[in-house]
Amino acid sequence: MSTQSYALLSVEMRGAVAVVGLNRPEKRNAINDPLIDEICAFFASPPKDARVVVLHGHGPHFSAGLDLAEHRDREAFEVMMHSQKWHRTFHHVQMGGLPVVSALKGAVVGGGLELATSTHVRVAEPSTFYALPEGQRGIFVGGGGSVRIARIIGAGRMAEMMLTGHAYNAQEGQGMGLSHHLVGEGEALPKAVELAERIAANAPLTNYAIINALPRIADMSQGDGLFAESLMAAMTQTSPEAKNRMRAFLEGKAAKAGS
């Protein structure tokens, strides 16, 4: 798949970082079937050399969400299948094994917010706004938002967004945990790449454990969660890479925390 070419995604390798752009700016990166298929194909089988992915949108918006033109005439069963395809796709984004850093700007709405909240680290520019216009459109979320968005901002706030269609700006989104870094205009992509390069320098097994274990542990009882945590600790701390990294620190050869 690493050699596959995409019509609606740009893919560029920068060392160990795969920079992937939603490339449908004339439709504000609205997600139609061909685009979701390409996102699914990429994240199900990312390039072999990639250790981290940066996801961004071409043009002034990250994504206007579901392509409403395509969705108009679907029957219930088709919508069910379509929603489950989005679930599979965003599962690959969240738990495919590679950390994903997103660079957000302009509209991050509806399915665009569902996609963004499947990524692990989110960097926003001042132009970013977040909205869930499903209430206005007479539909419901279908790309995992009722789970992922609600876990970040709370089900109550999500209900308010869906009922009122209210858009939160970049500053507000930062306060709500929708972004982790708020940078200047035009700076989200370079900052996302910088963070991705830092993440790429981590032990791959630890990155894998972070993105796969933490959301699952959040779903577990306390006892199960603590047991799963110990298993992940046992797996990561006994790896040769961990031993080398800990020795390097003790010999004064590794960066200190926070640097």
Residues near ligand 1HE, by CB under 6 A:
27-28, 30, 61, 64-69, 83, 86, 107, 109-111, 133-134, 137, 139, 141-143
Of the two residues 139 and 152, which places its CB atom closer to ligand 1HE in the complex?
139
CB of 46 to ligand 1HE, least distance (A): 22
Nearest residue to ligand 1HE, scored by beta-carbon proximity: 110
Q: Return d(Cα 46, Cα 52) in angstroms, integer.
A: 10
The Cα–Cα gap between 89 and 206 comes to 23
Least separation in angstroms between CB 83 and ligand 1HE: 6
Least Cβ distance, residue 80 to ligand 1HE (angstroms): 11
Q: Is the dihedral of CA 74, 81, 5, 110 positive or negative?
A: positive
The residue among 67, 60, 54, 171 whose CA lies nearest residue 105 is 60
- Minimum Å gap between C-beta 130 and ligand 1HE is 12
CB of 21 to ligand 1HE, least distance (A): 17
Q: Which of 87, 25, 95 is nearest to 53 (CA)?
A: 95
Given the complex with ligand 1HE, which of 65 and 96 has the nearer CB atom? 65
What distances in angstroms separate CA 221 from CA 152, 217, 218, one per listed residue?
Answer: 19, 8, 8
Q: Which is nearer to ligand 1HE, 67 or 125 (CB)?
A: 67
Q: What is the set of active-site residues?
A: 114, 134
The one-letter code for the residue type at 237 is Q
Smaller CB distance to ligand 1HE: residue 99 or 143?
A: 143
Residue 196 one-letter amino acid: A
State the DSSP code for 63.
Answer: B
Quote the DSSP letter at residue 219. Answer: T
> What is the rounded distance in angstroms from the CA atom of residue 164 to the CA atom of residue 72?
22
Tokens of 57: 């949108």
Full strand arrangement of the beta sheet holding 168-169: 107-109, 129-131, 168-169
Give the nearer residue to ligand 1HE in terms of CB position, either 81 or 201: 81
Instruction: Measure the N-to-C terminal CA separation of the chain; round to a whole number of Å.
Output: 36
